Amino acid sequence: MTEFRLGIFNFLKQQLYHSSMARAIVYTVGHIFIAATCNFFITGAEFHLATVDAIVEPIINGVWYYVLDKTWSRKLYDNQGR
């Protein structure tokens, strides 16, 4: 590896090591693996189906949370005006 590439590699590694986004990505990948494995062993589903469930379920929960938060905030601000 050339000195230039090594410098870029070390810079990126250092930036990712101190990044909340990098930790969030690692956490998410770990969560998907753990959820798929639990689904596989608990339900007996095929591993590829357990993995799809482990990916789709958090996406649906994220959308649900967004809708809940928007509705909750709207109701909260409406009631404060009365």
- Provide the token pair at 59: 């996406």
In total, how many domains does the chain have?
A: 1
pTM: 0.62
| Predicted confidence (pLDDT) per residue in 23-35, tens digit | 888 888 899 999 9
In which region does residue 27 sit, left (phi positive, over 0), alpha (psi from -120 to 50) or beta (all else)? alpha
| Predicted confidence (pLDDT) per residue in 17-68, tens digit | 777 877 888 888 899 999 999 999 999 999 999 999 999 998 999 999 999 9
* Nearest-5° Cα angle at 60, 59 to 62: 65
Domain coverage including residue 51: 3-80
Average pLDDT score over the chain: 86
Give the pLDDT band of residue 8 (cuts 50, 70, 90): confident
Contact 50, 37 (CB under 8 A): yes
